[in-house]
Amino acid sequence: MKIQPIRIDGDRLWDSLMEMAEIGATSKGGCNRQALTNEDRAGRSLFVNWCEEAGCKIKIDKMGNIFARRPGKDNSLSVLAGSHLDTQPTGGKYDGVYGVLAGLEVIRSLNDVGLETELPIEVVCWTNEEGARFSPAMIGSGVWAGEFDIEYGHTRTDKKGKNILDELKRIGYLGEEQCKAGAFKAAYELHIEQGPILEQEKTQIGVVTGVQGMRWYDLIIEGQSCHAGPTPMELRKDPVMGLQLILARLYKLIEDNTPWSRITFGDINAIPGSRNTVPEKIILSVDLRHPDQKILDELDSIFHAIVKQECNQSGLTGNIENKWNSPAVKFDNKCIDNVQQAVNQLGYKNIQMVSGAGHDSVYVSRVAPTSMIFVPCKDGLSHNELENASKSDLEAGCNVLLFAILNAMSN
């Protein structure tokens, strides 16, 4: 297909983003629109209304994933674009939602010029990408791609014991379509970078070639609870004392494997959780990442060895529970080329890069040719109410998405 002299409407995209941001708006300028809450329902319904106004046919599957389809000349294959509308509890205006509304803006812009594409375009909104309310993350795309079965997806619960199935019913987004991948020629996800690299490089577009491997664990260290006052430090079996030795060695391990290694300890729970009692048990969440699967496997092995050694020396019991494993991903070469061609056609400054964050494209890539497009975000902040991106960068990224979709139909 010859690329038409067409560009997206940057003002319309921006206005749509700002209107969506009003749903679940927080006092610091961010969004709290967690998966399958009333706010998520309102965001979904606004998206569906906009898609129907754009002439799309809506399908919702049994995981609540929403697909808005604009038909093409040959309906045997589609090109997929999209991301997610759910946010972190203190999330921003752009994470996920930008990719969804950019897909819609591509359709609106094609409608503006009356261009019938060779293939249909489907814009998707995935369920529970963030994993903030229901764990694991990316559950909607994971079931769709066959990583999880539907029963597993439906039975994930939040901290109050509410499961995904019941919450889908409650908000009216339990669809009738089977949650199973269809036939797609290509899939693209447009996203803010969520890191500082593009901004530091003064570069407008990231052509994403893959995603870091990620592993989530619970590190459980058990000792013996006792009174904080009468028990001398040297006689304690204090799991916190063992933990600080483990943490020091893990941070050093990551430092020795710069620049791409990442480790994060985002949640800690001391049991019984009393101020004047030495804990009996510490439960710590661990997030370990690297783009090279071989190195990630090595880091995993050393992590286990460190915990075993330090706990044995401290008279403690250490256990590592694997919670989630997402192998390193290499995106489809043709899809990457289509994005690179789009950037070259548009003349935007760009670099090729690996995503440090997980995205629905990780699972989509297992069943469809896939790649991603990044634009900068201010100070690299994301999962934060101060998350921000410039209107011009958002417009540029959406133009790249438009051209990449059209390239996919002709290449």
Decide if 96 contacts 121 (C-beta within 8 A). no
32 and 76 co-located in one domain:
yes
**Residue 235's domain is classified under what CATH number?**
3.30.70.360
Give residue 357's pLDDT: 86
Q: Last residue of some domain: 326, 355, 389?
A: 326
Give residue 1's pLDDT: 46
CA–CA gap between residue 196 and residue 203 (Å, rounded): 11
Residue 386, classified by CB atoms within 10 Å of its CB into exposed (0-12), middle (13-18) or buried (19+), is middle
| Ordered mean pLDDT values, 10 residues apiece, the chain (411 residues) | 76 98 97 98 98 98 98 95 98 98 98 97 98 94 97 97 98 98 97 96 97 95 96 96 97 94 96 97 97 95 98 97 91 98 97 92 97 97 96 98 97 86
145 and 22 co-located in one domain:
yes
Decide if 188 contacts 368 (C-beta within 8 A). no
Region of 218 (left: φ > 0; alpha: ψ -120 to 50; beta: rest) is: beta
Decide if 152 contacts 143 (C-beta within 8 A). yes
DSSP 3-state assignment of 133? coil
31 and 159 co-located in one domain:
yes
Specify if 205 maps to a domain.
yes
Give residue 38's pLDDT: 98
DSSP string, 213-231: EEEEEEEEEE---EETTTS
196 and 54 co-located in one domain:
yes
Specify if 4 maps to a domain.
no
46 and 166 co-located in one domain:
yes
Decide if 279 contacts 272 (C-beta within 8 A). yes
Q: What angle do CA 71, 10, 340 make, to 5 degrees?
A: 70
Specify if 26 maps to a domain.
yes
Q: Last residue of some domain: 326, 354, 380?
A: 326
Specify the pTM.
0.85
Specify if 149 maps to a domain.
yes
21 and 100 co-located in one domain:
yes
Specify if 381 maps to a domain.
yes
Give residue 244's pLDDT: 97
189 and 242 co-located in one domain:
no
Give residue 411's pLDDT: 86
Distance of CA 49 to the CA centre of its chain: 24
304 and 362 co-located in one domain:
no
Copy the structure tokens of residue 54.
């754009």
48 and 188 co-located in one domain:
yes
284 and 403 co-located in one domain:
no
Residue 185, classified by CB atoms within 10 Å of its CB into exposed (0-12), middle (13-18) or buried (19+), is buried
Specify if 2 maps to a domain.
no
CA–CA gap between residue 377 and residue 94 (Å, rounded): 9
237 and 372 co-located in one domain:
no
Give the chain's radius of gyration (CA, Å): 23
Q: Last residue of some domain: 326, 346, 361?
A: 326
**Residue 203's domain is classified under what CATH number?**
3.40.630.10
Give residue 254's pLDDT: 98
**Counted domains in the chain:** 2
Specify if 3 maps to a domain.
no
| C-alpha distances out from residue 133 to 44, 86, 177, 396, Å | 17, 10, 24, 32
Q: What is the domain range of residue 157?
A: 10-212+328-410
285 and 376 co-located in one domain:
no
Specify if 5 maps to a domain.
no
